[in-house]
Amino acid sequence: MDYFVGIDIGTGSARACVIDSHGDVLGLHVEPTKTWNPRHEIYEQSTENIWKCICTSVKEAVSKSGIQPDAIRGVGFDATCSLVITDKQGAPLSVDPESNFSNHERNIILWADHRAIDQANRINATHHNVLKYVGNTISPEMEIPKTLWLSENMPAEKFSNIGHIFDLPDYLTYRATGSLARSTCSVTCKCSFVPVGIEQSKGWSDDYFRTIGLSQLADEGFEKLGGIPGETGEFLFAGDPVGNGLTAEAAQDLGLPEGLPVGSAVIDAYAGAIATLGASSSRAEAQEMARLPAKESLLQQGANRLAIICGTSSCHIAMAPEAIFVPGVWGPYKSVLVPGMWCAEGGQSSTGQLIDHMLSKHPAIEEAKELAKSRDMNIYAFLNTYLEEKKQRHKYKYLEQLVSQLHIYPDFHGNRSPLADPTLRGTIVGHSLDASVDDLAVKYLATLQAISCQTRHIIESLNACGYTIDTLCLSGGLCKNPIFVQLHADITGCKVILPKSIEGAVVIGAGFLGAKAAGLSDNLWDVMIKLGQAGDVVNPSEDSEIKTLNERKYKVFKMMLDDQRKYRRVMAGEE
């Protein structure tokens, strides 16, 4: 039996796991990471803090697994798509305007940071052809608008001192191996890189960077971003071995063998997709997929599935054999997951964060927590139970009837997909003066419905352009919530496949990268089929009344979006 380590950096934690060559988790550990949020649009983190948390997590996961470190064959990383700034020696450089860029501990601009909205708008106003591969609308959550913001807000000498601009996954493989090789996933999805060969692309577009105001990067031959493909830079597919494996220093930090193969990293959502898109919903399906050639099984199973990684935000990842352009959806990205396949990436900027916001700001939250504690439940399990009891008290047949007069539009932190409009905001219709636990529960249910409606909006946009999505592969902590999962099935009309390990799916996907780097297979899709493990399957309800209620809810969802746009036009004097 071979063993592999996966390392995942989410928005608020570092986690590591040890898996075997069947994909079973033998040990897992989580360490919280530090985030600074001095203003509502500013979110910053620290590479030193994250690396320290990684080291603790790996050592604890290996200890819990009972496996000796020298039995581990490979390690893989994933992380949020956050911007890392270092000097030429790899030491952190500050991105913090509050300290006039002198607090070097804070050298990461987190994905959720929206300081670069103006820069993103100006980039989009160029209508450059490169934007074609991000749904024609770049997001302030991506790395190039943030880099442009730094160039315009840092003192010139401090910006000139920048040696390396990393997406966080690539920084981690650099820290582990000393190699500056970049992942095709990170640079393509978040750094305005168009893979070589697409429309005569050479990777980085000189014209694009000069047009948007980052001529300095082009003048330097894109050295800060990893260099020019095939000349001064190396760009790897997911799971390809990076450098010569773990350096002596990194090996000592992590408690793993020096030279251990390290797989080229991916953005965290893509690690969730790696763990779930190849997982079969039955033993028969798994056997059928194993018998087929990898390319055939990829086209048969991969192309009709949508991976949804549900956390603080949610990402939606679909694959297709050809480029499919979907307005407002990032991509299509070639070879960022499986070489030769194109990915579309939708997303919701706030899901778990939105649920927590709706609960934490409600006047009855402390009372609800006390009631949950008295029943030995967490708050979500308590609210689910409370809703079921409320349904029975009212003699309703369906939970959906509890929120027939309460509607929520969920873009409290802007819209990532399919509208690509970070200025949109949330809406509540049917709000009252009720400050009871009863009101808290129905607002919680309406929030889950709103998130599910937006998922349907994304799926409809994908399918309208050529995708054939009929199956959702969910992962992340929200998938432990049965109401959240059933609403996604019912409102979208799609079958939902849950992973065997719900909370561990993303870090398990990172472990698959380590398995590929170690030589378990030279084909990532083959690794995904061999190691991917599905759990429960949830089908959409066939009840006609539930279908009718959900159709009405979705119709209201779309009307609330239209109304918000109308109000903006009225206030702008346009109608």
* Concatenated DSSP letters of 292-309: S-HHHHHHHHGGGEEEEE
Are the beta carbons of 415 and 421 closer than 8 angstroms?
yes
| Count: domains in the chain | 1
Q: What dihedral angle (degrees, nearest 10) is formed by the CA atoms of 336, 338, 340, 344?
A: -50
Residue found under tokens 């873009």: 411
- Categorise residue 308: left if φ over 0, alpha if ψ from -120 to 50, beta otherwise: beta
Packing angle of the helix pair 47-65, 168-177 (nearest 10 deg): 70
Which ranges constitute the DSSP H helices of 479-531?
482-492, 505-518, 524-531
H or E stretch at 165: strand 164-167
Whole-number Å distance between alpha carbons of 74 and 57: 16
How far apart are alpha carbons 429 and 279 in whole angstroms?
A: 40
- Residue 320 in tokens: 């297709």
Q: What would you measure as the largest C-alpha separation in the chain, in angstroms? A: 70
Give the pairing of strands 164-167 and 83-86: antiparallel
Residue 30: enclosing H or E segment and its boundaries?
A: strand 25-32
pLDDT at position 370: 98
- Residue 408 resides in a domain: yes
Amino acid code (one letter) for 565: R
- 461 in Cβ contact with 417 (< 8 Å): yes
CA atoms within 13 A on the CB side of 426: 19
Write the CATH number for 554: 1.20.58.2240
83 backbone dihedrals φ, ψ, rounded to 5° = -90, 125
Query: Which residue is associated with the tokens 């990393």?
Result: 166
Within a 13 Å sphere around the CA of 354, how many CA atoms are in the beta-carbon half? 31
User: H or E element: which one contains 64?
Assistant: helix 47-65
d(CA 223, CA 231): 11
> Cα–Cα distance between 110 and 85 in angstroms, integer?
12
CA distance linking residue 484 with residue 196, whole number of Å: 41
Q: How far apart are CA 60 and CA 321, in angstroms?
A: 40
Closest CA to 271 of 8, 3, 562: 8
Say if 514 falls within a structural domain.
no
**Other CB atoms closer than 10 Å to residue 426's CB: what's the count?**
19
Tell me the pTM.
Answer: 0.90
Torsion 217-222-223-226 (CA) sign: positive
pLDDT of residue 544: 97
Single-letter residue type at 536: D
Q: Tell me the C-alpha distance between 557 and 562, whole Å.
A: 9
Instruction: Report the alpha-carbon distance of residue 467 to residue 220 in Å, rounded.
Output: 40
Q: Which helix (H) or strand (E) holds 248?
A: helix 248-254
Q: Give the tokens for residue 269.
A: 């959502």
φ, ψ at 208 (rounded to 5°): -60, -50
Both tokens of 145, joined, read: 């608008």
Both tokens of 522, joined, read 């030279």
Q: Quick check: is 337 in a domain? A: no
- CA atoms of 90 and 321, how far apart (whole Å): 38
Residue 138 covered by a domain: no
Q: Please check whether residue 371 lies inside any domain of the structure.
A: yes
CB 315 within 8 A of CB 185: no
Residue span of the structural domain in which 424 resides: 352-456+545-571
Nearest to 130 by CA among 181, 188, 216, 213: 188
Residue 305 included in any domain? no
Inside any domain, residue 77: no
CA contacts within 13 A on the Cβ side of 440: 23
Enter the tokens of residue 558.
């779309």
Burial code of 427-455, b = ≥16 C-beta within 10 A, e = fewer?
A: bbeeeeeeeebebbbbbbbbbbbbbbbbb
Q: What six digits make up the tokens of 232?
A: 């001064």
pLDDT for res 287:
65
Helix axes 524-531, 283-291, angle to 10 degrees: 150
pLDDT tens-digit profile, the chain (575 residues): 899 999 999 999 999 999 999 999 999 999 999 999 999 899 999 999 999 999 999 999 999 999 999 999 999 999 999 999 999 999 999 999 999 999 999 999 999 999 999 999 999 999 999 999 998 999 999 999 999 999 999 999 999 999 999 999 999 999 999 999 999 999 999 999 999 989 889 999 999 999 999 999 999 999 999 999 999 999 999 999 999 999 999 999 999 999 999 999 999 999 999 999 988 766 566 666 667 666 666 666 667 899 999 988 899 999 998 999 999 899 999 999 999 899 999 999 899 999 999 999 999 999 999 999 999 999 999 999 999 999 999 999 999 999 999 999 999 999 999 998 999 999 999 999 999 999 999 999 999 999 999 999 999 999 999 999 999 999 988 999 999 999 999 999 999 999 988 878 999 999 999 999 999 999 999 899 889 989 999 999 999 999 999 999 999 999 999 999 999 999 999 98
Write phi, then psi, for 233 (nearest 5 degrees).
-140, 155
Closest C-alpha among 159, 171, 153 to residue 83: 171
Segment (H or E) for 473: strand 471-475
Helices in 92-178 by DSSP H: which ranges?
Answer: 117-125, 143-153, 156-160, 168-177
pLDDT of residue 437: 98
Q: Is residue 101 part of a domain?
A: no
